[in-house]
Structure 1
Amino acid sequence: MNPVVKTRPGAPARFFEAEAAGLRWLAAARGARIARVIEVSPGRIVLERIETGRVDAAAAASFGEALAIMHDAGAAAFGAKPDGWDGPVFIGRLQQSCRPEKNWGAFYAEQRVRAFVAPAVEAGNLTPADATVVEQACDVIAAGAFDDDEPPARIHGDLWNGNVLWSPEGVVLIDPAAHGGHRETDLAMLDLFGCPHLDIIVGAYERAHPLRAGWRDRVPVHQLHPLAVHAVGHGPAYGAELVDAARRTLALAR
């Protein structure tokens, strides 16, 4: 079977090596199936080709359980990079910080949301007034309003529907922004961009690892990161969604 060869002229240093490190770290959890890295070198990565399969309830249930297992494999800290990786971390084409933090809120607010606010304003996709609302939400999150006793999870970090491939053997994940984070972040991203059989995925997940009460209410908190990233380069509609999620986050914290 022909592998998939990905190249990108002018890619940042260690761009594909970062992808390979994330894929291998997630695969080491022996939970969700991850696309296998065949070869990686500067400016190039070779991956196994994933054939298209049926999008069905059985595959969704298996994926939900496997995703919980992957998350449960854990990470050294919130913001931890994949084990053994000392290079940059990317989400899509944007680089993002991964500085380990003891508390999830401090990590998430500063490195996953606030870091993208100024670039979104500079791009013209977020107004300065709306940026203030997002900053206020970051302050609340950083102060620990949503911290809990969940340990750092081994998360995909960019788990939108386009990175969930349905193969004849079940779901396979690609293109991670893997790091130590909160398990609810991956689930919130699946919800944000839509995923077939999401209720079945979540049901199977909760049978493997019950989620903390009120997790559905906290979805907007965990969607701030992908919305902030998209507000940088995908238009003002995402800026509007970002500020709406920020307002909902502030309302939850009251």
Structure 2
Amino acid sequence: MTLPPQLAELTQGLDVRSASRVHGGDIAVAYRLDTPDGPLFAKTHPSPTNDLFAREAAGLRALRRHVPGTLRVPQVLRESRNGLVLEWIEEGGRRTGATEAELGSGLAALHRTTNDTFGGLAGDASGYLGSVPVDLTPSTDWPDFYVQRRVAPLVERAIAEGSLDPAARGLLDRLAPRAAQLCGPETTPALVHGDLWGGNRFVDRDGTNWLIDPACHWAVREVDLAMMQLFGGFGPECYTAYDQAFALADGWRERVPWYQLTPLLVHAILFGGGYGDAALRAMQRYA
């Protein structure tokens, strides 16, 4: 059996009997690998950077260390510049009120993992959202970090690529002086998944929740809750259980569009379409 070059390098030495393409998100090329010891999951990227998969692997390991026993995260079995090999997840479980509540309380437990600074894991100064590079230089000033190191560079890149109206630059200039008010009272750096939309959460056949494809960093926990609401996929029991376990600061729902700016801008850069207009509307809401 002949494997694609990137997959062949990644799986060198593994007894791979067959490899079949599976859905792996909008960016990665994903495979099911059948081996004598059972199936494995592999993902590669057409044009990987030197540390794209290293950052993802670090995020997966951080989640595995800190999620409660009610949540699962796939084990990293192999990593290279070209991709990752992870344990296989047997999807097919039904999402119920119980699975949603378990996810909410589990996520609240994860968010109790804290740090002295915002930014990258282990002090890393850079990372990725999807395949878009982001500045994660450690900082103790969350409003400045969010506006100047996260939103502003993404606005400039989206404008440069023609996926965002240049009027966004002026809007951000008006919003930046109010960053402390707009970001809310939360001041504790928490370990966040960083890309928690519905497609990055699975329920297996035993009804256990799994978290995949993280963009882990230290941030205020509202960023995960905002991302979860961008595309839906999480039941009301999830938010109720989260709030009961670890209540968010007053007014957090009003800040959801503010914290959705980052994923909207990333999607505008990667996919174009209406994401740039949605980001502009989110900014106009607070102007």
TM-score by shorter chain over 0.5: yes
Matched, 1:58 2:98: yes
Cα pair distance change 1:5/1:175, threshold 3 Å: same
CA distance, structure 2, for counterparts of residue 185 and residue 172 of structure 1:
19
Cross-structure match for 1:107: 145
Match of 2:85 among 23, 27, 46: 46
The two structures have a TM-score, normalised by structure 2, of 0.80
The two structures have a TM-score, normalised by structure 1, of 0.90
Matched, 1:21 2:58: yes
Q: Residue deviations 1:107-160, cap 9 Å, x none?
A: 11112211111111122111212332134334422x554342441110011111
Match of 1:33 among 72, 83, 95: 72
CA distance, structure 2, for counterparts of residue 6 and residue 178 of structure 1:
18
CA distance, structure 1, for counterparts of residue 46 and residue 231 of structure 2:
29
Gaps of 5+ in 1: none
Mark the structure with the bigger radius of gyration.
Answer: 2
Cross-structure match for 2:160: 122
CA distance, structure 1, for counterparts of residue 174 and residue 56 of structure 2:
32
Query: Using CA pairs below 8 Å that are at least 6 residues apart, which structure has the higher relative contact order?
Result: 1
- Deviation, 1:241, is 0.7
Matched, 1:6 2:46: no
CA distance, structure 1, for counterparts of residue 177 and residue 197 of structure 2:
26
CA distance, structure 2, for counterparts of residue 88 and residue 98 of structure 1:
5
Cross-structure match for 2:130: 92
> How many residue pairs are counted as aligned between the two chains?
246
Matched, 1:76 2:81: no
Taking every aligned residue pair, what percent have the same amino acid on both sides?
A: 37
Match of 2:215 among 167, 171, 177: 177
Gaps of 5+ in 2: 1-37
Q: For the Cα contact (< 8 Å) 1:15–1:88, is it kept in 2? A: no
- Deviation, 1:16, is 0.9
Q: Residue deviations 1:32-86, cap 9 Å, x none?
A: 422221121221211111111111111110010000111111133111x223x74
Q: For the Cα contact (< 8 Å) 2:118–2:218, is it kept in 1? A: yes
Aligned amino acid, residue 139 of structure 2: E
Cα pair distance change 1:6/1:149, threshold 3 Å: closer
